[in-house]
Amino acid sequence: MLSHPEAPSDEPRSKRAAILDAAAATFCKEGYAGASIDAIANTAGVSRQTIYNQIGDKEKLFKAVVAQLTEYSSARFFAILETFPTEPRNLEQELTAFAKRLLEMSCCDQHGKWLLRLANMEGQRHPDLFAAWRQYGPGRKYPAIAARFAQLAHAGYLEVDDPTLAARQFMALVSADIRFDMQFGTRPSQAEVEANAESAVRTFLRAFAPR
Amino acid sequence: MLSHPEAPSDEPRSKRAAILDAAAATFCKEGYAGASIDAIANTAGVSRQTIYNQIGDKEKLFKAVVAQLTEYSSARFFAILETFPTEPRNLEQELTAFAKRLLEMSCCDQHGKWLLRLANMEGQRHPDLFAAWRQYGPGRKYPAIAARFAQLAHAGYLEVDDPTLAARQFMALVSADIRFDMQFGTRPSQAEVEANAESAVRTFLRAFAPR
DNA sequence: ACAAATTTGGACACTATTGTCCAATCTGTC
DNA sequence: GACAGATTGGACAATAGTGTCCAAATTTGT
């Protein structure tokens, strides 16, 4: 059968997945230049040659990693966004639960963490790649959340002038504490995540609840 | 004269400074592994040998860069903290001006930007180095700001239960928009900085002003 | 102008990495 | 069991980077 090097769809799934996972981890830990193909192959439990066969040179490998992380992370986010409390019975409680889900997904999830790290590290080097990420990532996340807040405001649950601003500030508050721990690879504890979500939502509602 | 390799204090100031600046820029752009000594020497307009004479191997160079950036950035921050409006006549206006100063210093200043980037990129690789940074950086910043907010609360200008939390959320709101642009090296415009400071302070005060 | 220190550029050995080639081996399918 | 395709390990040239050495050139202090 044909096996396009670009879209090897299904067959070599597990090998390819192992390679991409190992590559993501290694790129994150060592940076693009510092990540050697040998190290990646070793981590993936795969011969170096297999990487060249399946994916291609280092540049293509990097792009494939970013593409996969972007897709995966974006899918997770929009799945969670479906659980936004559009018609809340207890706004604070349900918004807090939503914030917790978001934190657990966005900050403690390895893929999202890796993607953010790679964007920070190699953003200048591959501007085209991460321009796409920016559009699919933050560029679609904020408007999506903003729409939900606008909905809440329209229904009288909130008092917001600028939903986009509210969305950005909500995200900023929710991920306030986490960024440092996250960037260092130290996973914040469950208790920290919950406490942070609670205080973030409390402050957010103090600012945007109807008077 | 003695010329300690560790503390060459004054004499070779300009060469050493040029080296450290070039090294910081190159490490930021290329990562630790990707930054070659030749490239750094070239950028600094200096012979490669001079780097080895003045500072030592790559590891020492990196440590020297981080140390200098940490010191510089910390000094700038605490200088600006002196201008915190402890006895405000118009709280919103003065706090906004303070936020603008903070943004201009912390986000648009090259050294702070570089330090943050290096911490994100190489934090896992040099945990000891950045543990020190964490203590001197965020670890001292937040308590310092928290103390000011506690002061304001005690004087009746604010209504905060947990000053440390308020400080973290203040910083999160202030730097909400900027992070993305900053990480990508694109400097946010003056107008963006000001708009962000204003909306951040407005939201902060809506949450923490006395009812 | 002289002497001391510093800087320079180039050569050097050494190591690491990339990407390719290939024969041997393993895999699953008929 | 035989076959095709994928996989492996190892060898390979080419390139790039690190850190050292040294003699010549340059800057610096006096």
CA distance A129 to A122: 10
Would you state the pLDDT for residue A123? 83
Q: What is the pLDDT averaged over residues B93-109? A: 89
Residue B167 buriedness (CB in 10 A; 0-12 / 13-18 / 19+)? buried
pLDDT band at B44 (very low <50, low <70, confident <90, very high): very high
Helices (H), chain A: 13-34, 37-44, 48-54, 58-81, 91-106, 110-122, 127-136, 138-154, 163-174, 178-183, 190-208
* Residue-wise DSSP of A187-205: PPPHHHHHHHHHHHHHHHH
Condensed to tens digits (0 to 9), the pLDDT of residues A12-21 reads: 458 899 999 9
User: Most A CBs within 10 Å: which of B160, B203, B208, as the mutation test of the A interface?
Assistant: B203
Condensed to tens digits (0 to 9), the pLDDT of residues B108-162 reads: 788 888 888 888 888 878 877 877 777 777 778 889 999 999 999 999 999 999 9
Q: Please answer yes or no on whether A169 and B173 come within 8 Å at the CB atom.
A: yes
Condensed to tens digits (0 to 9), the pLDDT of residues A55-85 reads: 999 999 999 999 999 888 889 999 999 999 9
Residues of chain A with pLDDT under 70: 1-13, 179-185
pLDDT for residue B20 is more than 80: yes
CA distance A200 to A198: 5
Would you state the pLDDT for residue A7? 39
Would you state the pLDDT for residue B181? 66
Check whether residue A117 has its CB closer than 7 Å to nucleic acid strand C.
no
Check whether residue A60 has its CB closer than 7 Å to nucleic acid strand C.
no
pLDDT for residue B4 is more than 70: no
SS3 (DSSP) at B38: helix
**Best CATH choice for the domain A65-208 from the list 3.20.20.70, 1.20.1250.20, 2.120.10.30, 1.10.357.10:** 1.10.357.10
**Domain extents in chain A:** 1-56, 65-208
pLDDT for residue B12 is more than 60: no
The residue assigned the tokens 């012979």 is B47
**Best CATH choice for the domain A1-56 from the list 1.10.10.60, 1.20.1420.20, 3.30.70.141, 3.80.10.10:** 1.10.10.60
Both tokens of B22, joined, read 């070039």
CA distances from B152 to A133, A200, B89, B125, B203 (A): 41, 21, 12, 40, 17
Mean pLDDT of chain B: 87
* Residue-wise DSSP of B168-187: HHHHHHHTTTHHHHHHTTPP
Phi, psi of B43 (to 5 degrees): -60, -40
Q: In terms of Cα–Cα distance, which of B183, B134, B172 is closest to A174?
A: B172
| Interfacial residues of A (vs B; Cβ cutoff 8 Å) | 29-34, 117, 119-121, 123-125, 127, 130, 134, 138, 162, 165, 168-169, 171-173, 175-177, 180, 183-185, 199-200, 203-204, 206-208
D7 closest protein residue (CA to C1')? A50
* Residue-wise DSSP of B50-118: HHHHHT-SHHHHHHHHHHHHHHHHHHHHHHHHTT--SS-SSHHHHHHHHHHHHHHHHTSSHHHHHHHHH
Report which of residues A135 and B185 the model is more confident about. Answer: A135
pLDDT band at B3 (very low <50, low <70, confident <90, very high): very low
Percent of chain B with pLDDT over 70: 90
CA distance B45 to B13: 14
Tell me which nucleotides of strand D come within 7 A of a protein CB: 5-10, 16-22
pLDDT band at B100 (very low <50, low <70, confident <90, very high): very high
Report which of residues A197 and B181 the model is more confident about. Answer: A197
Both tokens of A8, joined, read 């090897």
User: Most B CBs within 10 Å: which of A118, A173, A175, as the mutation test of the B interface?
Assistant: A173
Would you state the pLDDT for residue A141? 87
| Whole-number distance in Å between B1 CA and D29 C1' | 11
Report which of residues A123 and B197 the model is more confident about. Answer: B197
Q: What is the pLDDT averaged over residues B68-87? A: 92
Report which of residues B108 and B92 the model is more confident about. Answer: B92
Q: Please answer yes or no on whether A169 and B203 come within 8 Å at the CB atom.
A: yes
Q: Please answer yes or no on whether B173 and A171 come within 8 Å at the CB atom.
A: no
Phi, psi of A151 (to 5 degrees): -60, -50
Q: How far is B204 from chain A (nearest CA, A)?
A: 7
Domains A1-56 and A65-208 share a fold: no
Residue A124 neighbours by CB under 8 Å, 6+ apart: B29, B184, B185
